[in-house]
Amino acid sequence: MKILVVGAGVVGVALAEQLSLEGHRVAVIDQDRTKISDLNEKLDVLAVRGNAAMPSVLNRAGIKTSEMVIAVTDVDEVNLVVGMLASRLGVKHRIVRLRNQEYLEENCVLPLGELGIGHVINPDPAIVNALVRMIEIPGTSDFATLAGGQVLMLGFDISEDSPVAGRTLAELREMGDVDAFLVMYIARGDDLIVPRGDDRIEPGDNVHVLVSADTVQFISPLIHRRPQRVHEVILTGASRIGVQLAEAIENKVETVYLIEPNAVLAEEAADRLTKTTVIRGHETDLDVLEEANLAECDLFCAVSDDDQRNMLGALLAKKHSLTKTAVLVQQPEFVPVLDSLGVQIVVNPRLVTVGETLMHVRRGHIHSVTRLAESRAEIIEMEAPADSKAVKHKISDLNFPKDALIGAVIHDGLMQIPNGETRIAVGDTVVVFALPTAISRIEKLFTRRKWF
């Protein structure tokens, strides 16, 4: 497929790299000369410098022969214009990132459908929802919903006293009465392990599991001997995500503090929030943290638009308290650094945005793509079509890739953890965990269609 990516920021470059690796012909537009030069050196893409809102620039990038346009600049209005122009020029698939909530409201004076916008990506609600659920489910370090909320993906850090530490997966399956969960992968140092029954979970591992939403309450006690509930939260940064998160949790926990150094943003947040204490100050000022009662804090969540502020604030909080820390970072290279420093929750909007985009590009009836482990793995949620190989055999006969596994099958609205004897029926929703090397083979199993 020929794809035009508009915007060479963190998300745009990640998309261009991934799509190019998957065999698509990719062009990228950006106004920044340095970014265009870097793209030409590092990636096998057509990099065009210019204002993407100008038809002449879009023509130089080959928009008239493109099958998909993805607009992910940092300016919503530019993305809107690109989407509108792409529609007028006959581009079949148009994906636009919009982060201003006003554009997404039902009574918006500019209905996006009438403007020719095919799909809208906004990672903020998914990020806020994930953080809220990690507060509600004690001990989690990652969260995503699948299959319309029927299936949850949860991440856990394994401590020395964890009930599962030292046990094999076969032993874990025998613990208690829970039969609706599956360990998808184990992250051990720099290694990702797609586990089998004789693989053992060790202290220090990070494990991700699939679990039925109906049985999620049984999982935390299995993983943590004494899961710590969150009662007091400190948020830093009155960003869109910061204010939305405060609104979402101020009725779920006992105390919420929001720290913001900008006077205007702090005042706007105070006017909007009813039960959150807003403090004007810097999260790197220990006096400000003490004013927010850091000593009693259960979760310190840094969600400003500045990666450095977020990281420094979280590290200071860790040094002077026993609080759990969560950090929002845009730059992907910071993620493994924060993991090594003991930050329990690291949220990267780039992974969310790239995942939402890929589900429109991949072959087959894809419902969602969730990027994991700094883009080293994916969860793909798809529907099994009638003409696919996956619905003609037992799972044990599918020759399924070793670096992937089928985590869940939703049949007639009910989730089940499959085994080798399970047969996938036409129309079933299937949740697959895969390393990059397995994705093309999985696509072949679940579709016979050509690239659209």
Beta-bridge mates of residue 95: 70, 119
Amino acid at 322: L
Phi and psi angles of residue 178, each rounded to the nearest 5 degrees, phi first: -80, 120
pLDDT at 93: 93
**How far is the C-alpha of 216 from the C-alpha of 154, rounded, in Å?**
9
Q: What is the pLDDT along the chain (452 residues), one digit of tens a residue?
A: 999 999 999 999 999 999 998 889 999 999 999 999 999 999 999 999 999 999 999 999 999 999 999 999 999 999 999 999 999 999 999 999 998 888 777 776 677 777 888 899 998 999 999 999 999 998 999 999 998 889 999 999 999 999 999 999 888 877 654 466 889 999 998 899 999 889 999 999 999 999 988 888 888 888 888 878 999 999 999 999 999 999 999 999 999 999 999 999 999 999 999 999 999 999 999 999 999 999 999 999 999 999 999 999 999 999 999 999 999 998 888 888 898 888 999 999 888 889 889 888 887 788 899 988 788 899 999 999 888 889 978 999 998 998 999 999 999 888 888 988 999 999 999 999 999 899 988 988 887 544 43
For CA atoms 262, 264, 265, 267, the dihedral sign is positive
pLDDT at 175: 64
Q: Which residue has the tokens 């009155």?
A: 238
Instruction: Supply the pTM of this predicted model.
Output: 0.87
Beta-bridge mates of residue 277: 257
Number of residues that make up the chain: 452
Domains of the chain, earliest start first: 2-122 (3.40.50.720), 140-223 (3.30.70.1450), 232-347 (3.40.50.720), 357-446 (3.30.70.1450)
**b/e 326-353 (16+ beta carbons within 10 angstroms → b):** bbbbeebebbeebbeeebbbbbbbbbbb
pLDDT at 252: 95
Phi and psi angles of residue 118, each rounded to the nearest 5 degrees, phi first: -80, -50
Give the count of alpha carbons within 13 A of 268, CB side only.
Answer: 13
